[in-house]
Amino acid sequence: KNEVEQSPQNLTAQEGEFITINCSYSVGISALHWLQQHPGGGIVSLFMLSSGKKKHGRLIATINIQEKHSSLHITASHPRDSAVYICAVRESQGNLIFGKGTKLSVKP
């Protein structure tokens, strides 16, 4: 069983749509990261959170520690948001475990 599960695996949206990507995990964690990987391959850190909610521009990340679940929301999606979004959790012992990623494609 994967310790970090993301859904959906693939997501196609029309420009302007509200997007939600989910991440569920089964281990005790000290933090959760959301990362973005563009088609060129580079990986960028979007959020690191251990409770509650964070917002940066059109991106919002939430986490529910009790339910072991996090969501990444994108409001007013744009084709430049097309990328792979990766959830990673920092185990209580210190190791990072990565999800397999959600491939998002936003059509104009």
Partner 1 sequence: NAGVTQTPKFQVLKTGQSMTLQCAQDMNHEYMSWYRQDPGMGLRLIHYSVGAGITDQGEVPNGYNVSRSTTEDFPLRLLSAAPSQTSVYFCASSRSQGSSYNSPLHFGNGTRLTVT
CA nearest 53: which of 70, 36, 77, 30?
70
Contact segment (CB under 8 A) with partner 1 among 17-25, 51-59, 72-80, 83-91 equals 83-91
Shortest CB 93 distance to partner 1, Å: 10
Instruction: Give the contacts of 50 (CB within 8 A, at least 6 positions apart).
Output: 29, 30, 31, 32, 63, 65
> d(Cα 47, Cα 15) in Å, to the nearest integer?
23
Among positions 70, 72, 74, 101, the unique one binding partner 1 when judged by CB under 8 A: 101
Among positions 56, 57, 95, 108, the unique one binding partner 1 when judged by CB under 8 A: 95
**Binding status of residue 57 toward partner 1 by CB under 8 A:** no
Shortest CB 46 distance to partner 1, Å: 9
